[in-house]
Structure 1
Amino acid sequence: MQEDWKNKHIVFFDGECGVCNFWVQWILERDKKDAFLFASLQSGFGQKFLSERGLETKVFNTLYLWKPDQYYLVKSRAVIQIANLLGGIYTLLNIGKILPAFTGDVFYDMVSRNRMKLSAQKCFLPDQHQKKKFIEV
């Protein structure tokens, strides 16, 4: 495992979902500040994260963003924070913070319920540099 994972923002995602894998690739391509690492919720690391917080360990329809020893965010708040950390034009998503989390989560949940229909199950194969950004323990 990467030695500096505690200094990164870790994105937990459904490793079997084509939509989730698309967004992981999207973040990877824009992560110019090297701020993120990734772990599937099905991995040992993902399962440990979920169980330590008393979260669901069998249903993987929620995106989590975790900054160790600081915070973890879910659903729309995680998406907004990821955009903020990417910087640039993506920080425009900060406008979503003026809405209650529930409002953004309604849209998030609608996409989540239909995500398997939205994308064919495509296999994502990271390149050598990208592989270093995944926590698989």
Structure 2
Amino acid sequence: MAKPDTDHDIILFDGQCMLCSRIVRFVIRRDPKKRFRFAALESEAGKAVLKQVRTEAGGFAGRRSRTADEGVTDAVLEADVKAAPDTFMLVRSGRIYMKSRAGLEVVRRLRGMWPLLYVCIVVPGPLRDRIYDYIARNRYRWFGAYDHCMLLTPDNKDRFIE
């Protein structure tokens, strides 16, 4: 498994959620430049990434704003990390994006037509996140859950941080 570094964006996801695992596989297939690395939020690696970002940045980017589009304040992050399985996060250059904004930032860097979805950024963040929260609350019922984190294959093992 790979070590965290600043050359790659890191996607933090719920390792037991089947929808989240499908999204990770979806991103891997559409990321031939291997820009993204992955870690389950509940893993030690995921927790370490969050701690590292907080330490290096002296807090989280976007302290001046509580909106998802501006980043995350410490208080907001603390609340969301406690509810971590409902939160999809992207760490890029010491900044954390969450929920719908994280998803939009990810599709923006995929190959094919997927970056066109970034146009959804014009929808106000609170509205996008309400939709995100609705899906997150129902994801286990709709898509199921694993009893364990997704299994790595030799082809993608280097994409996950340890």
Give your verdict on TM over 0.5: yes
C-alpha displacement of 1:81: 0.8
2:104 equivalent to 1:77? no
2:79 equivalent to 1:68? no
1:93 to 117, 136, 152: 117
Q: Deviations over 1:19-42 (max 9, x none)?
A: 111111111111112110000011
**Within-5 A mapping of 1:106-117:** 106-117=130-141
SS of the residue corresponding to residue 86 of structure 1 reads coil
2:160 equivalent to 1:134? yes
C-alpha displacement of 1:4: 6.5
Take 2:30 and 2:48, find their aligned partners in 1: how far apart are those partners?
28
- Residue equivalent to 1:41: 41
SS of the residue corresponding to residue 39 of structure 1 reads strand
- Cα contact 1:64–1:78 (8 A) shared by 2: yes
- Which TM-score applies when normalising by structure 1? 0.87
Give the aligned CA root-mean-square deviation in angstroms.
1.9
Gap runs ≥5 in structure 2 = 55-59, 61-73
Letter of the 1:63 counterpart: F
Gap runs ≥5 in structure 1 = none
Misfit runs of 4+, over 4 Å? none
C-alpha displacement of 1:68: 3.2
SS of the residue corresponding to residue 87 of structure 2 reads coil
Take 1:7 and 1:39, find their aligned partners in 2: how far apart are those partners?
15
What fraction of aligned residue pairs are identical, expressed as a percent?
Answer: 33
